Amino acid sequence: AQSVTQPDIHITVSEGASLELRCNYSYGATPYLFWYVQSPGQGLQLLLKYFSGDTLVQGIKGFEAEFKRSQSSFNLRKPSVHWSDAAEYFCAVTLGAGSYQLTFGKGTKLSVIP
Amino acid sequence: NAGVTQTPKFRILKIGQSMTLQCAQDMNHNYMYWYRQDPGMGLKLIYYSVGAGITDKGEVPNGYNVSRSTTEDFPLRLELAAPSQTSVYFCASSFATGTSGNEQFFGPGTRLTVL
């Protein structure tokens, strides 16, 4: 069965600092990969997705993620964090085209120090 | 275009009571889903539907029921509420085809407490 691991439960960064959130998946083939963000008391919003092609994908709010097949990773990055980025971030994986199932990691909570 | 809507936003139930969580989408998506979110556990799939009249169990279906009579609506029913069902419930929808990546769109959630 596929699985998603987000090793960091909670990360704290200073405003203006760079950010990297880690995500590793376990699956034999190349899955479809997603990053979602959840602000407090809100639903999940899609930040970016990777299906195929260029392994560096750009998303909304200045986020990007890089797919590394050799490391089974899909880490999320942002060069300069803003206080409004404080939220919980979820990495998710689906098996492929037409698959219904989206497997989520347990999330990483980001706190931003002014 | 409202996207995915859920009602109610909050609800407190007593043990043994029943209720229905409502979910609707106006994007003509074929797939719809119900998840529950517990602290530190991410999202777990309860039930999903691939189209009107077709539903199937997800990872944690016990204690819940669903129906899908129309493309737009996908209500979740709790028959005998238990404290273990205290959670935040999210409905989602997607347009999954043979070439799409199943990007799911989420509603704002329903926070349910069972006392």
Token pair, residue A112, equals 């931003």
**Partners of residue B76 on adjacent β-strands:** B21, B66
CA distance B12 to B99: 41
**CA-wise closest residue to B26 among B50, B5, B51, B3:** B3
pLDDT digits (tens, 9 = 90+) for B50-76: 999 999 999 899 999 999 999 999 999
The half-sphere exposure of B31 on its side-chain side, counting CA atoms within 13 A, is 22
Beta bridge partners of B112: B11, B87
Interval A53-94: pLDDT, tens: 889 999 999 999 999 999 999 999 999 999 999 999 999 988
Q: Is B95 on the interface with A (CB under 8 A)?
A: no
Q: Which of B23, B43, B66, B68 to mutate to test the interface with A (most CBs of A within 10 A)?
A: B43
d(CA B50, CA B98): 13
